[in-house]
């Protein structure tokens, strides 16, 4: 008998409401710093299409790095496996390594989910486009995946990233010095900052992630990507989706997932569910404190894990 | 309809026989350097207990780092989650970082599958024992898991590791300087070197791995570890099991696995199969060249992956 | 009896003319790549004001990093020891560390002679100015030191640096992310790139370096900096003046010095001489191959070294 | 007129007596932890042979890393410039790099004054000897340099190093893995630990350093090493003598020097003086807090610096 997902979501929402340690809201992007840590939302879309919602599940938040999943999917659609000549597929070790490794590995970022890798992905998506068009195309793709035309870029956030994103601009210039960024840096980071500023609710995000639980298919719209590519994106989310806490997330939760500093996490159980959680307070690793905890509850209550034989 | 595993194994054995690029046999341990790269063996044990064998599936080889999976399982049985105060659960980034990170992270290795981490595990398993007893206990545990009393330590290999293992002795002393090795270094490395020298055939190895595909149970012998712990060991194998090619293995093959420089790999599909392959030639990442390739064939032919919804 | 410097210079010029291994001309700045490796020039200005010239001693070349000495002197004149809150005074270890250390040390470059440190110095010199004025001020300072109004910026070189200096732009953005660059990056790097493009002959350079051999005094113009500051700049040149070959330069030559990728080196023997050599071919460490060799001859023939008691 | 060194020493001793911030005594070697931070001693031996003493100038202390200067001199006497194939001559950058660089640079330590480099020097000095003989030879060499037969090894310190020196044993094993240690590790570290435990007073140490101020000569005993080698050892002391504060020591004090965690520092002004200071409390860089301060006073009061033209 399948688990009663709405009851599970309700139980989790209730548990999260009483949590006192809610993490710290990211402050380095001005537009994010004002969000209240009191928020918690959760949405689960099952393989059969049923939906369970809880808390602030329909309130939009800044997806930040979660959007890297969709940008990667789009870039793979454009250049296929040629992407892997410019971006690796290995976890990055710890935080401070990213830039060491960029140097040691000649401007090739370790994976598409660290900032440097996502900037290369943005460079790929920019090919033949103006920045505005590239962002438009990504937005249309996400709207299509979520079947929701309301998804948009939060321009205030986008601008505040542009003003303070010196570190990302540094990474882009650094990779350009190695020839691994092909367009002018300000255009590439323009795409990147707008992509990070895409706002979505948990419901929209869980819907947008359905193709990853369904081996690349969308129920009504048909095949988005091949089953093999869906598996591979899931693999990358599992090994690289949570910065230097990716191993711990796999260990404790056992689902492919991608987090963002806005406090959102998209998690996928192939064949079972696409799950989105959101709570703005971050833990020491930069992942949503309550979001991670909620997913750990969810994994325990459903028994779902890619590392288990249960069906 | 379940795949015909014997046909699949036969097809893979035939394909591997014609491969010309077979990698390079490890030479830094004298006892390994003389093994012929012509060997290839494969064994698959299904969840229902059926067995498919091919090539040199019954020839013993040096398991080397594959044995770390069993040593970790034993250590968790002894000290439980206290182990994680002394060893991390994150991928190590790239090869050269291991020792940087030992320093940066105060003598705490990143995970139990890099050498430093496995040396801490050996230190845990040594508690209250003489080295000989600790190795005896591990050997009995592996024999129990594989239901095979013939598994033994290759003393020639063990001695050649002892003589040339300066780097591992260095790691052990380094961690002892941080207080993370509790026993005299020569006793800890004694256990470690003998553990690496455990010889098994593909058949024995695939049988020994059954508890990881069966959520911690053995068909005849009952529960070995909890389902939660089995999931977690699988998660560690997936994120950390192949040195700095762990991400690539997850991307291309999508199964928890652990490789060793003897050319063996143990891979697990929860609920489906425990698989062992062996071919002594290594690729640039230090993993079996044909073993990796064979598992990629296997994943394609069966459609099995933890990242797919197929059943 | 003081050494006959003109004879020594003549001997060195003759010896250098027969050298076949002349190093490789820097190619990463387009404007430098076309300079012939056949050039060799040398100028020695003694404490008593006498001058010895040889080879292409009066041909201007791109000073590149040698100009960092004068920019540092000017910045110290502006902000004094407050500079050291923003830049360290330690050798950088090896090349690849610079950016690691920038991260590990919170955006504080190790010393003012690595690129990151010189970019901070440029940021200091820019305070209250337009980039054009800041460069003008530096140029006037160098003309004053050398007593030569012909010293100028090579605009072709300056432009080619601006176009390809992604790595330096990356460093500047990276430090700005840590708050250690106060002006817009493009203005700071504008100053930096123009400063690197200052062209001088060996004669002009050796004259410009006189204040460092004379404890901060200029014979006709009086005190430029305090004796203490002159000593300290000399100390920095000795420990940090030749990238990751600074130790070797001190070991073999024993004089404070600063090299540039244009092939120039300024060296100082306090109380004795200010010496400039130039030959465009670089050795593996990025310092002038013949320039280093010529200075080694010079040290041997004169017996001069800061590490010797000879007078 | 030469400075009145005894008055200067008296002034410094008086000033140091009132200092309240005296640093922290090293505790990682049990035998050192019990020394009182109240001690301060200073001895200056001039080029003309006159001696100025102050404070605890005749109390023996553990020389620790200061002894590396004499061990290096002895090793250069044995193998000459062949030593440089096994040890570099560059500053090590910051502390954490030592072991990174050992790995990146294939087991070649950056310089003979970091622990790894001094262990290679001990390996050189051990050639053809028993450890006891190698230490005996070094002790005789130092007694000869100081013209004092009372200098000895503090066996309590030597034993406490042997028991806790896991990190140095790790370095030795690590280099042995690269083939850069030729003797069994326990014999090499035996020599190294005893060498560190050589006890000397400031007077003995300043006398032992005379050959470095006199271009390799000893007044009564003749040439110890060539003038060129004396210059080069001075250069190494200046660029590498104070761990990651070498640049700062050169900047502030401007003399070749070598410090030890026992709180001693040997400093040399070629042609002028050999100076030893001792105070057990260390600053954050691991160098004697008062010793460094005292030398800064001394440099200011005498005007002596290798970076100045003053005579």
Does residue D136 share a domain with residue D70? yes
Average per-residue pLDDT in chain B? Answer: 94
| CA angle in degrees (0–180, nearest 5) for A280-A283-A287 | 65
Question: Do A287 and A257 form a contact (C-beta atoms < 8 A)?
Answer: no
At residue B92, the pLDDT reads 82
Residues D277 and D153 in one domain: no
Backbone torsions φ then ψ of B265, nearest 5 degrees: -140, 130
Chain A residues touching B256 at Cβ < 8 A: 307
DSSP chain B: ----HHHHHHHHHHHHHT-S---EE--SSHHHHTS-TT--EEEEEETTS-EEEEESTTS-EE-GGGHHHHHHHHHHHHHGGGGGGTS--S---STTHHHHHHHHTTT--S-TTSHHHHHHHHHHHHTTS-HHHHHHHHHHHHHHHHT-TT-EE-HHHHHHHHHH-HHHHHHHHHHHHTT---S-HHHHHHHHHHHHTEEE-HHHHHHHTHHHHTTTEETTTEESS-HHHHHHHHHHHHHHTTGGGHHHHHHHT-S-EEE-TTSEEEEEETTTEEEEEE-SEE-TTSSBHHHHHHHHHHHHHH---TTS---
What's the pLDDT score for residue C281? 97
Q: Is residue A29 part of a domain?
A: yes
Q: How many CB atoms lie within 10 A of CB D271?
A: 16
Segment B268-287 shows an average pLDDT of: 96
Strand ranges inside C47-187, DSSP E: 51-55, 61-62, 152-153
For residues D86 and D184, state if they share a domain: yes
Q: D310 in a domain, yes or no?
A: no
As given in the structure block, the two tokens for residue A205 are 């995000």
Contact residues on chain C for A176, CB-CB shorter than 8 A: 166, 170
Alpha-carbon dihedral sign for residues B80, B85, B86, B87: positive
Tokens of B239: 């994120």
The CATH number for B91's domain is 3.40.710.10
Q: What percent of chain C has pLDDT over 90?
A: 87
Q: How confident is the model at residue C95 (pLDDT cuts 50, 70, 90)?
A: low
Ligand-binding site membership of B192 (annotated): yes
- How many degrees, rounded to 5, is the angle at CA B245 between CA B242 and CA B246? 55
* Chain C nearest-CA residue for A97: C100
Q: Quick check: is B308 in a domain? A: no
Instruction: For chain B, give the percent of residues with pLDDT over 70.
Output: 96
pLDDT of residue A141: 98
Last residue of a domain, one of C158, C176, C198: C198
With CA atoms as reference, report the closest residue to B64 among B187, B242, B211, B207: B242
Find out whether D78 and D279 touch, Cβ atoms under 8 Å.
Answer: no
What sections of C18-66 are H helices per DSSP? 30-33
Task: Name the token pair of C161.
Answer: 């640096």
**Closest partner residue to A173 among C96, C166, C177, by Cβ?**
C166
Q: Which residues contact C86 (CB under 8 A, 6 or more apart)?
A: C108, C120, C124, C180
CA distance linking residue B299 with residue B292, whole number of Å:
11
Secondary structure (H, E, C), A123-141: HHHHCCCCHHHHHHHHHHH
> What is the reported pLDDT for C98?
61
Q: Give residue C223's domain range.
A: 5-60+201-302
**Per-residue b or e along D168-206, where b marks 16 or more CB atoms closer than 10 Å to that residue's CB:** bbbbbbbbbbeebbebebebbbbbbbbbbbbbbbbbbbb
Looking at the fold, whether C190 and C219 belong to one and the same domain comes out as: no
Let me know if A65 is a catalytic residue: yes
Average pLDDT over residues B190-208: 97
Do D45 and D123 fall within a single domain? no
pLDDT above 70 coverage of chain D, percent:
96
**Under a CB-based contact definition with an 8 Å cutoff, are residues D24 and D12 in contact?**
no
The three-state secondary structure class of D160 is: helix
Find, among B215, B230, B180, B306, the residue nearest to B72 by Cα.
B230
Residue A308 falls inside a structural domain = no
Are B57 and B76 contained in the same domain? no
Instruction: Read off the pLDDT of residues A33-81 as tens digits, 9 standing for 90 and up.
Output: 899 999 999 999 999 999 999 999 999 999 999 999 999 999 999 999 9
Kindly determine whether residue D93 and residue C96, on different chains, have CB atoms separated by under 8 Å.
no
CA angle B266, B268, B272 (to 5 degrees): 140
Is the distance from CB of C240 to CB of C114 less than 8 angstroms?
A: yes
C173 and C273 share one domain? no
The string of pLDDT tens digits covering residues C103-153 is 778 899 999 999 999 999 999 999 999 999 999 999 999 999 999 999 999
How far is the C-alpha of D126 from the C-alpha of D108, rounded, in Å?
A: 18
Active site residues of D: 65, 68, 192, 243, 261
Asked if the Cβ–Cβ distance from C47 to D245 is below 8 Å, we say no
Between strands A273-278 and A281-282, the pairing is unpaired
If you measure CA to CA, which chain D residue comes closest to C236?
Answer: D251
Q: Is residue D309 part of a domain?
A: no
Regarding whether C292 and C280 lie in a shared domain, the answer is: yes
Query: Which of C9, C35, C192, C279 is labelled catalytic?
Result: C192
The reported pLDDT for the residue numbered A1 is: 67
Looking at the structure, tell me whether residues A78 and A142 fall in a common domain.
Answer: yes
Q: Are residues A188 and A172 in the same domain?
A: yes
Domains in chain D, number: 2
* Positions of chain D with pLDDT lower than 50, given as ranges: 96-97
Q: Of B169, B198, B227, at which residue does a domain stop? A: B198
Confidence at residue A96, expressed as pLDDT on a 0 to 100 scale: 43
Measured over the CA atoms of residue C99, residue C100, residue C105 and residue C109, the dihedral's sign is negative
C244 vs D81, higher pLDDT:
D81
Which is nearest to B114 in space by CA: B73, B156, B65, B165?
B65
Q: How far is CA A162 from the centre of its chain?
A: 20
A28: DSSP letter: S
Residue C307 belongs to a domain = no
The reply, when asked if residue B287 is annotated as ligand binding, is no
> D157-188 pLDDT, tens per residue?
999 888 779 989 999 999 999 999 999 999 99
Contacts with B271 from chain A: Cβ below 8 Å: 308-311
Same domain? For B84 and B194 the reply is: yes
B180 to chain D nearest CA, in Å? Answer: 12
Contact D94 C88 (CB under 8 A): no
D311 in a structural domain: no
**C226 domain-assigned:** yes
Distance of CA D234 to the CA centre of its chain: 11
Confidence of residue C96 (pLDDT cuts 50, 70, 90): very low
Annotated binding-site members of D for substrate: 65, 115, 161, 168, 192, 243, 261
Residue A268 has pLDDT above 80, yes or no: yes
In angstroms, the CA A168 to CA C170 distance is: 9
The alpha-carbon gap from C259 to the nearest alpha carbon of chain D, in Å, equals 16
CA A237/CA A91 separation, integer angstroms: 10
Q: Tell me, what's the ipTM? A: 0.95
- Regarding whether A218 and A247 lie in a shared domain, the answer is yes
Contact D219, C238 (CB under 8 A): no
Enumerate residues 217 to 276 of chain D having a beta carbon within 8 A of any beta carbon in chain C: 227, 230-232, 234-236, 238-240, 244-248, 250-252, 254, 256, 270-272
Predicted pLDDT at B31: 83
Examine the residue annotation and report whether C68 is marked as an active-site residue of this protein. Answer: yes
**Which one from B35, B45, B92, B243 is the annotated catalytic residue?**
B243
| Selection from A271, A275, A270, A273 nearest residue A258 by Cα | A275
* Residue in B96, B104, B169 nearest the CB of D103: B96
Distance CA D302, CA D310 (A): 10
* Mean confidence (pLDDT) of chain C: 94
Q: Which two tokens stand for residue B56?
A: 């040199």
Q: Which has the higher per-residue pLDDT, D135 or A93?
A: D135
Judged by a CB distance cut-off of 8 A, whether residue D282 touches chain B is no
Contact A100 C104 (CB under 8 A): no
- Closest residue to D99, CB basis, from B103, B172, B185: B103
Among left, alpha and beta (phi > 0; psi -120 to 50; other), residue D93 is: left
The residue among D167, D198, D229 that closes a domain is D198
């Amino acid at each position: 008998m399948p688990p009663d997902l709405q009851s599970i979501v309700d139980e989790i929402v209730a548990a999260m409401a009483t949590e006192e340690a809610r993490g710290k809201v990211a402050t380095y992007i001005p537009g994010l710093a004002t969000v209240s840590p009191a928020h918690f939302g959760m949405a689960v879309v099952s393989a059969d299409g049923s939906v369970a919602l809880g808390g602030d599940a329909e309130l939009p938040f800044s997806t930040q790095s979660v959007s890297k999943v969709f940008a990667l999917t789009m870039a793979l659609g454009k250049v296929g496996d040629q992407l892997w000549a410019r971006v690796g597929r290995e976890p990055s070790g710890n935080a401070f390594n990213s830039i060491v490794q960029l140097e040691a590995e000649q401007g090739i970022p370790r994976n598409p989910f660290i900032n440097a890798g996502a900037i290369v992905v943005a460079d790929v998506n920019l090919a033949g486009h103006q920045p505005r068009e590239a962002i438009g195309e990504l937005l249309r793709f996400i709207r299509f995946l979520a079947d929701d035309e309301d998804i948009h870029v939060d321009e205030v956030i986008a601008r505040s990233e542009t003003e303070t994103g010196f570190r990302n601009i540094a990474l882009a210039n650094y990779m350009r010095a190695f020839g691994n960024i092909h367009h002018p840096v300000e255009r590439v980071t323009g795409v990147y900052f707008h992509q990070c500023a895409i706002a979505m609710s948990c419901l929209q995000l869980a819907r947008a992630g359905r193709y990853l639980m369904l081996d690349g298919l969308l129920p009504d719209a048909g095949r988005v990507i091949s089953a093999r590519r869906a598996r591979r994106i899931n693999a990358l989310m599992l090994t690289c989706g949570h910065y230097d806490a990716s191993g711990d997330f796999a260990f404790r939760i056992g689902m492919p997932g991608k987090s963002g500093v806005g406090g959102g996490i998209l998690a996928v159980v192939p064949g079972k569910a696409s799950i989105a959680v959101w709570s703005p307070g971050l833990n020491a690793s930069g992942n949503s404190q309550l979001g991670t905890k909620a997913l750990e509850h969810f994994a325990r209550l459903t028994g779902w894990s890619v590392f288990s034989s249960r069906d």
